[in-house]
Each structure stands twice: as C-alpha cells, then as structure tokens.
Structure 1
Amino acid sequence: MRRAQIIGFSIAGIAGLIAFVGIQNIINQKPKIIETVKTVDTIDILVAHEDLKLGDIVSPNQFVWKKWPKGSVALNYIKKENSPDATNQFVGSIVHSTIHKNEPIIQSKLINYNKGGFLSSILPKGKRATSVKITDYSAAGKLIAPNDHVDVLSTINVGTKVYPIYRTETILQNIRILAIGKELMVEDIDQDFDGKVAVLELTPAEVEKLTLDNVKSEGKITLALRSITDNNDPNKYEKVNIIHVWGK
C-alpha cells in the first residue's frame, strides 16, 4: 500500500509539473502580430530633376517622371498618361518661378519664349529688355546665369584697318541678366552664329547706348561677371587701349 501511494504521488507530481510548465509557456507566449502592407495607388507625374531658377532655360533631362500618390495629385500636375512626351515638350521654355528638385511641374511656372509674355512679366517698371550676341569666350566661359549682374564691355578699333588700335571700354555697369541660352536665338541674328544670346535688363538710356556701341564695335561685346558683393559698387573704370596693354 505504501509503495502504491508513493507511485501515485510521483505521477501526480510529474503531471503537476508538466501542467505548470505548460501554463507558464502559455502565459509567456507572445501574441503573433500579423503585419499587413497597405498598397498605395500611384501615378507618374512630371517633376524637376534639379533646382531651377527664375530665367533658366529648360534643357533635356531636367524634367523626369516620378511616381506620386494618386490621392495627392493636384489637377494642374502634368501626368504621363495625359502628356507622355512632356519631358521633351517643355525643352526651351523659360522658368517663370523658382522650381526645386523633385517639385511637381505646373505650366504656370513655365513660359514658352516663342509665344512671348515672359520678359514683360518679370521686367520692373521703366526697364527694357534687349539681347546681345555672346560666345563662351565673351561671357565668362559659360559661368554667367540668369539673375547674375555683369559689366558690359565694348571693343572698338580707334585706328585704321591697316594699323588697328583697339580700345576696350566699360559702357554699362551692374546690369542684370534676364535670360541666357542658345534657345533664345532671334530672327535678326545670323542663323550660322555659333553662340548664344543674353537678354539684359536696361533703362531706355542704356538701351540707346548699348545699341550705338554695338554698331561701333561691330558686335564685339563682352560680359564681365560681377561679384555678388559689389552689385551696388559705383566705381567707374578707365578706358584701356591696346597701346597701354602692350606698354608702348
């Protein structure tokens, strides 16, 4: 009898231990978290591939398609499904308002130069816009951009064709560049001209002076980029001719 009791107690103890361990496992078991991934419908819209400033001329590859949440697409965004060729459609347009990288493109921020309206919309009251031919050599090696300020230099021959004496004069100072680029070629400029056009913001008097000097210099106009720190510097510069340069 005693042996049977011992065996019974042992079996009961083992069963209790197993039950205790089982209960502890159930208590300590973490509930399974079922993760659900919510899919968001997207649509391709046109965005800027890089920052663009007022007056910049849109070049190829500056606009790209990017997937955008469909619920966040405004009515004035340009959608690929409606305008599949939009990446090329706006090449040559002029930026009317600053556009940041990855910002959706809207047509109100772009102006088709050939249709007009851009320059008159950004010109301050009393100012005029006029264009001059430039090359990389005569425009600080491609470093001049819209909204930069420049000095305009004119080089003329004050000697003769046989014995030329060239003189360079700073004819205008602190002039704002409105736009610059090859896409701005206008009808009165030779089609075989291998260069660009810069559009300058001038007063009526400055337009007259530039026009006269452009004729006298036979188009030998140079733009000198000014430091952003001296845009209000009133200093005048002395005329230089080639005899002074050569030290004769």
Structure 2
Amino acid sequence: MKFKKIIIVSLALLLAIFGVFLLNVINDKKGDSQSVQTTMILISPTTLQPGDVISLSKLLWKDWPTQSISKQYITKEQKQNVKDIEGAVVRYPIFEGEPISLNNVIKTGGKSILAAVIRPGMRAVSVPFNKIVNAPALILPGDVIDVVIPKKELSAGHTDDLVGQTIIRGVRVLAVDNIIQKMNDGKDLSSPRTITLEVTSDQAEDLAASIPEGRIVISMRSVFAGQDVYSDGYPKSDELPVSRGDKPSRTIALFRGSERSEVTVK
C-alpha cells in the first residue's frame, strides 16, 4: 500500500515538472514570434553641430525598431541616400545616438557652408566687432541677441539726451569670424573681428543703415528664452531711456523789491 502511494506521488511530481517544462517551451516560442523587427540605420556616435560636415567614416550603423523608423532616416538598403550623405552639412543639431535624418542635413552643391545653415527666407549679415560698444567677452555661434542703437533725442531744448532703440530682436549668431559652430577644443574666440547674424531682409536693411552712422549695442538673451524675431524697423515702444548724465547747474537771481536772492537749478 505504501509502495503504491510512493509511485503515485512520484508520477504526480514528474507530471508537474513536465508541465512546467512544456509551459516554458510554449512561452519561448511565443516570445520568438513576437520579437521586435529591426532595421539598420545610420546614427551619430557624437553630437554634431550646425556647420559640421558629415563623414560616413564617423557614423555608425545600428539596429532600430522598424516600426519607429521615419522616412527621413537613412537605412542600409538606401544606397543612394547613403552615398549622398557624404559631405553634407548639418543644419540643425544632431545629438549623440540620434539617427541621421535627411531633414537635418543639406548638400551644399559647391556653395559655402554658411549658406547651408541659413534658414529659408533669412539673410546673413556680418557686423565688425569694433562697431559693438559693449561687445561681450565671449560670444559664440548659436547665441541669441538683440541689437540696440543709441540715439540723441531733442527734448525740452536739450540735444544731448540719449535713448536706446532696439532695432532687431532675437536674432541668432550664425558665425564668429569664420567659425559657424560652437567649439569644444578650447579654441580662443574671445577676440573676434566680425560676427555674422541671421536676419530678415528688412532687418538687414535696418542694420546696414545703422552701422555707418555710429556704433551699436548688443544684449545677450538667455538660452532658455524663446526667439521672437521682428522686422518692423524701429518700433516706438522699444525706445528706452539710458543714462543721460548730469546736466550743468544754473544760478538764477530773483529780485523782490530791493531784496536779491539766488536759486540754483538743474
């Protein structure tokens, strides 16, 4: 009797073990059938800045979920796109590990790299650094600035009053000298000769008219501030008073009958 119980218990254990094994096999097969399909695409192993020239030797092929692949990504089967990407110029930042997208690069066709990074409808205007009154100690491509001109204003009979007038808002610095991307190699950009700004055609005319008359002031914007590019010329609402200096004092003599008194006014 005891022997039969032992046999029954042993068979039950064997069946349980076999059931667990069979269940694992079934789950493995389901997992294989549901595995994610991937396709090889081009990615950048390092961050690329606007103005960088694409070199295939510095890019990597990586498996990417097929369902997540955009039409603008470059796959290994697209031999023509792979060929065309060599020597193209980066228009917008491509971050480390990000796929190379045809929207982010452009072929220069023999034209300058600067022309490739200007947005459609915009212009590039160079400003001599010695025309900037308050030139920042360090200004880099990609910074966003406002351009202000100091103007004399006639008020209350005084012609030496100055106002600051913002003529351009939120423009992007395209280049400092001939450098059009931020440098990470320690290259000194603290004493440039020119800066190149990305402006509209109207802003280019305003800037061209302002520089010969005198010098300009630039104000740096925070990297967290949005860009609001205007092209309305010289908006009155942008006139802001600046330091006017101390006016010379004057003494006025007042007579009341035979009495004389003096009052100092400014």
TM-score, normalised via structure 1 length: 0.51
Contact 2:50–2:117 (Cα < 8 Å) also in 1? no
Distance change (3 Å), C-alpha of 1:208 and 1:25 = closer
Aligned to 1:199: 197
Question: Structure 1: which 5+ residue stretches go unaligned?
Answer: 1-12, 156-166, 187-192
Q: Does 1:57 align with 2:53?
A: no
Aligned to 1:236: 239
1:81-96 paired onto structure 2 within 5 Å:
83=82, 89-90=87-88, 93-95=90-92
How many residues in Structure 1 have an aligned counterpart in Structure 2? 197
CA displacement, residues 48-72 of structure 1 (integer Å, 9 cap, x when unaligned):
856x9xxx724489x9535133856
Instruction: Read off the aligned partner of 1:201 and give its amino acid letter.
Output: V
Contact 2:128–2:193 (Cα < 8 Å) also in 1? yes
Provide the C-alpha distance between the structure 2 equivalents of 1:20 and 1:71, rounded to a whole number of angstroms. 52
Provide the C-alpha distance between the structure 2 equivalents of 1:22 and 1:47, rounded to a whole number of angstroms. 60
Could you say which structure has the larger radius of gyration? 1
Structure number having the greater helix percentage: 1
TM-score, normalised via structure 2 length: 0.49
Contact 2:45–2:59 (Cα < 8 Å) also in 1? yes
1:1-248 paired onto structure 2 within 5 Å:
13-29=1-17, 30-32=19-21, 33-34=24-25, 35=28, 42-47=39-44, 57-59=50-52, 65=60, 67-69=62-64, 71=66, 76-78=72-74, 83=82, 89-90=87-88, 93-95=90-92, 102-111=97-106, 112=108, 114=112, 116=115, 119=118, 121-123=120-122, 130-134=125-129, 138-139=135-136, 141-142=138-139, 145=142, 148=144, 150-153=146-149, 170-182=164-176, 194=192, 197-202=195-200, 204=202, 206-217=203-214, 220-226=215-221, 228=225, 234-238=237-241, 240=243, 244=245
Question: Structure 2: which 5+ residue stretches go unaligned?
Answer: 152-160, 181-190, 249-266
Provide the C-alpha distance between the structure 2 equivalents of 1:239 and 1:174, rounded to a whole number of angstroms. 18
Distance change (3 Å), C-alpha of 1:89 and 1:196 = farther
Provide the C-alpha distance between the structure 2 equivalents of 1:47 and 1:215, rounded to a whole number of angstroms. 44
Higher relative contact order (CA 8 A, sep 6+): 1
Contact 1:48–1:64 (Cα < 8 Å) also in 2? yes
